Structure 1
């Protein structure tokens, strides 16, 4: 029995042509996702290795960050999606949506994690998971909650169960009464979708504002801003909330959902004077910067501030990573009331900027402190950080 076990172990250490398993794993894990997909055809042994969660995670950690651009429909051409290099934004591949008709508008991003995009289509209230690298998608079954336009959605990967989860926070409470974008208030309905079971389960939003000094009964969640961001295996949304009248001295907060524990919590964020005065609430966005939770904001004089949470979950560890004046950065022609505004902050430290007085995107490398490239802005209304992977959506 012992000799049989030893023989099996020896066979596992050799995968192909007497090459040790460790060498093969190391080499294959450095390939791009498309090349790795072709390697599945080499042998059953290779296919078995490449589909293990251990190898998939190893391969994912060694992939370069990408950015995905969502192209709007031009004339009668269907909307498309481009995967681009995160350094020079050169297009690596282009993809048609396998679930969107030619004359329909493109879907919107709900989030991205481990090479899978989460998208929702407001036209038919449908949600999808899509891995464009291997061209696999999954349409989610209808959820017990309301339509997506009344909900905040997020996508995350649970490493404990190797499962993708979609969270939908509804503004409808346990008494089936709709609030005004109050989805994160206590008692509101929450749906959690599991790809593994292909089903939804329901829960009620807990009181994440319980530690605030003011009465939680009058807390109003004004809105959630932007798509979700995954950091530390938690899905995050940025919100404005308070206990006074609409948009009067709101507080800025971050709601986190742990994908493994399936619990919500409120993370305190840095507070900004222009937010507390109720202005420029649309120019706020969360980001994942080198594995750290971060956010950026643009005030009324075109100054971008980027804040990073050095220690996850510790609100005292927020620090200002960068402050840059776009008027000085781009040209003297950008005035105080210009339509130039920061758009996104990518995981590799690139600040993407749109200046509507021109037809180009600009991106600023916050590490080297210089403008690194430009790209025509026409037809690219939305984008998100992305990492290519071989995660399969069809078991």
Structure 2
């Protein structure tokens, strides 16, 4: 009788069956998948789809995996077409086995449906804030695009759109806290009232705009087109004033943001090379001094109290290696710095991504060396319109995201 009982016993569950029956263990395994592989895995079963689609799993998956940016979107405006081109440039293709988005991501996303030419305004933790390309913001349409999922959302126009002058639009998204995002639109009634602005806030929870209760008062030269989300705030720069502004997205309050000092008596305006975030950890500003190709790289303290000079970089030797004439006024140098990034492949050091017509290079600040990242096709006149402080070319970091826009 006992032998018969043993014959009827079921075999112990296999390792795969144990995983399949344990949601917590399965989540720990799935959270290590790259985004594209994870999205494909959602087709395995309804249960897997339910787990992967759960906003709580999205927050778990979004916890930082590394400090390296796998790639960037390069935005160029080749004259005289006045139509921006957006290309994906892989910067770290092999180390973490990221699966790249489309080479021309907007062509297969927004532009495949919308008739407008599309421009990128900002990158924020995996989402791109885009607009239809217009010379004036009050005739634009705005979009939030996730290049990982190749999905986008067309935003409704802000309240009173067309009656006010739009100064700038910025996106705030922190996937470690929430799968929702907000878009901040700053506008004014007149060009004469540059120090006084109004704010509207779009929420992905409600899909509507609402007007911020208070006005935004700050220096006349705050550049609201330069908004960067960091440490819970949209941060803006000013070119001549001692201070600028930031907007705390959670508390919905405006605050003073100090600016790096104008140390050179001959310099009446800051010459910005870049203003960017390195994967949420550091807010960087790069400023050219009057001493040729000397670049000051500052980082902001976490309490927003001051900027700290982190690097003093002399790019003159690098420019000479590229056979560029030195010394010439800065405006004639045919390169620009796209941003400061952390590169674990380069002995865990900070690197400057440098755009030169026809190529992108990575300048290791500690090693003082430049390596070629990739070659690019360029228009016949692109070399003539490039300078270190121009706005024709910009780089936007790419980070994988599961956010449902």
Q: TM-score, normalised by structure 2?
A: 0.74
Secondary structure at 1:335 match in 2? coil
What's the offset of the Cα at 1:297?
A: 0.9
CA distance in 2, matches of 1:171, 1:305: 33
Q: Secondary structure at the match of 1:362?
A: strand
Question: Does the 8 A contact of 2:84 with 2:119 survive in 1?
Answer: no
Aligned residue for 2:326? 334
The one of 84, 92, 95 aligned to 2:100: 92
Partner of 1:258: 248
Residue 388 of structure 2 is matched in structure 1 by none
Distance change >3 Å, CA 342–CA 193, structure 1 → 2: same
Instruction: State yes or no: 1:345 paired with 2:339.
Output: yes
Q: Is the 8 A contact 1:252 1:275 kept in 2?
A: no
In structure 2, distance between residues paired with 1:62 and 1:236: 25
Q: How many residues are treated as equivalent by the alignment? A: 347
CA contact (8 A) 1:226 1:238 kept: no
Aligned to 1:46: 48
Gaps of 5+ in 1: 1-13, 173-177, 210-219, 241-249
Q: CA deviation at 1:285?
A: 3.0
How many Å apart are 1:309 and its aligned residue? 2.0
Where does 1:217-366 land on structure 2 (aligned, <5 Å)? 220-224=219-223, 227-240=226-239, 250-274=240-264, 277-279=267-269, 281=271, 283-290=272-279, 291-300=281-290, 301-315=292-306, 318-331=307-320, 333-337=325-329, 338-348=332-342, 349-355=350-356, 359-366=358-365
1:11-64 CA-to-partner distances (Å, cap 9, x unmatched) read xxx997211444422322222211111111122222222123332123222265
Aligned equivalent of 2:159, options 113, 135, 144: 144
Structure holding more strand per residue: 1
8 A Cα contact 1:88 1:373, kept in partner: no
- Whether the 8 Å contact between 1:346 and 1:385 is mirrored in structure 2 is no
CA distance in 2, matches of 1:158, 1:341: 32
Q: Deviations over 1:87-113 (max 9, x none)?
A: 479993322153337997743333222
Distance 1:101 1:368 in 2: 43
1:392 aligns with 2:384: no
* 1:147-171 Cα shifts (integer Å, max 9, x gaps): 5973211101266664211101002
Change over 3 Å in CA distance of 1:334–1:87 after alignment to 2: farther
Shift of the 169–231 alpha-carbon distance from structure 1 to 2, 3 Å rule, reads same
* 1:330/1:73 CA distance change after superposition, 3 Å: closer
Tell me the TM-score normalised to structure 1 length.
Answer: 0.75
Alpha carbon RMSD of aligned pairs, Å? 3.5
Closer, same or farther: CA 179–137 of 1 in aligned 2, 3 Å: same
Bigger CA radius of gyration: 2
Structure 2: gaps of 5 or more residues: 1-13, 343-349, 380-391
Deviations 1:72-93 (A, max 9, x none): 68999x9764443334799933
